[in-house]
Amino acid sequence: MISKSRWKLLAMLALVLVVMVWYSISREDRYIELFYFPIPEKKEPCFQGEAERKASKLFGNYSRDQPIFLQMKDYFWVKTPSAYELPYGTKGSEDLLLRVLAITSYSIPESIQSLKCRRCVVVGNGHRLRNSSLGDAINKYDVVIRLNNAPVAGYEGDVGSKTTMRLFYPESAHFNPKVENNPDTLLVLVAFKAMDFHWIETILSDKKRVRKGFWKQPPLIWDVNPRQVRILNPFFMEIAADKLLNLPMKQPRKIKQKPTTGLLAITLALHLCDLVHIAGFGYPDAHNRKQTIHYYEQITLKSMAGSGHNVSQEALAIKRMLEIGAVKNLTFF
């Protein structure tokens, strides 16, 4: 026979266990509620200036006066000195940049400019998109921003088929851009170094190709219309690094930490759009070495070594955006 005192002790332990389980589930529910925003059946209301107002909490003296894309008049007619070298400014690369701006464009399409309220989604490359069935929902946004060489063909059910803008740098440019983009997709160059300007100029002007100065060989043949190419304003790289990651603008050459293209794309969207959703962001835990990081290829976190990206710090930055409601997440983070 178990004594009454032992029964009481067992009952108390059971009660404590129940409370612990409830608290754990409650915390998990709150976590999911905070960082996961399921697709609503009806279109979410879009209020002009909403993203601008919320993003001011992140960027401080936030302004949409900064042009999204670089244009020749800012460098040709007006000598605008840049305080920083690439990727945070254009100091020392102005001559190369001028040649690139002479053959590319800077305008935002009228189909986007004329919108009273711009609904945007930034599609990351994360493994959480695999089997997500988000394709139809992604296609309904006014602006769909994609990253680097992430494929669309064969993954339409999960990632959609619409691409309004694709941010890339030479090493991440898809070798056949017409396969993975729409005919009117804007191809937005993110320049990390002067050689990136040199590469795009030789490609678009059909000059002798550049083969050195890259960590991976970029395409030597890249079939695009120069009028679809845009040069992203380094201002967005600067504020992503400074305001979101607290990185110094001037770093020792051996360190060179910088934001990922994904964080940069979200920063751009917060300046361009009135409603910003994200999908496919977040890396596996550091101890999960076998989990793939992309929805389309079998590579793990090990491939990020030496990239100059601090994925843990970026995760905190994105969580802060989610907490203040500047962005909402269509996948778990």
| pLDDT of res. 60 | 83
CB 288 within 8 A of CB 282: no
Element (H, E) at 119: strand 119-123
For 39-329, CATH number?
A: 3.90.1480.20
Q: Name the range with the highest mean pLDDT among 31-35, 271-275, 308-312.
A: 271-275
- Band of residue 32 on the pLDDT scale cut at 50, 70, 90: very low
Report the largest interatomic distance among the alpha carbons of the chain, rounded to a whole angstrom. Answer: 95
Whether 18 has a pLDDT exceeding 90, the answer reads: no
| pLDDT of res. 14 | 66
- Cα(211)–Cα(213) distance, rounded to whole angstroms? 7
The stretch 173-197 carries a mean pLDDT of 96
| pLDDT of res. 29 | 38
Higher-pLDDT residue of 81, 331: 331
The answer to whether the peptide bond before residue 252 is cis (omega within 30 degrees of 0) is: no
Instruction: Identify residue 224 by its one-letter amino acid code.
Output: V
256: left (phi over 0), alpha (psi -120 to 50) or beta: left
CB 146 within 8 A of CB 123: yes
Element (H, E) at 276: strand 275-279
Residue 11's CB is within 10 A of a number of other CB atoms, namely 10
3-class state of residue 126 by DSSP: strand
Whole-Å CA distances, 25 to 19, 20, 88, 258, 331? 10, 9, 43, 36, 19
| pLDDT of res. 82 | 83
β-pair partners for 69: 232
Least confident of 36-40, 88-92, 166-170, 244-248: 36-40
| pLDDT of res. 24 | 44
Q: Which residues contact 196 (CB under 8 A, 6 or more apart)?
A: 86, 169, 170, 189, 190
3-class state of residue 122 by DSSP: strand
- The pTM (predicted TM-score) of the whole model is 0.86
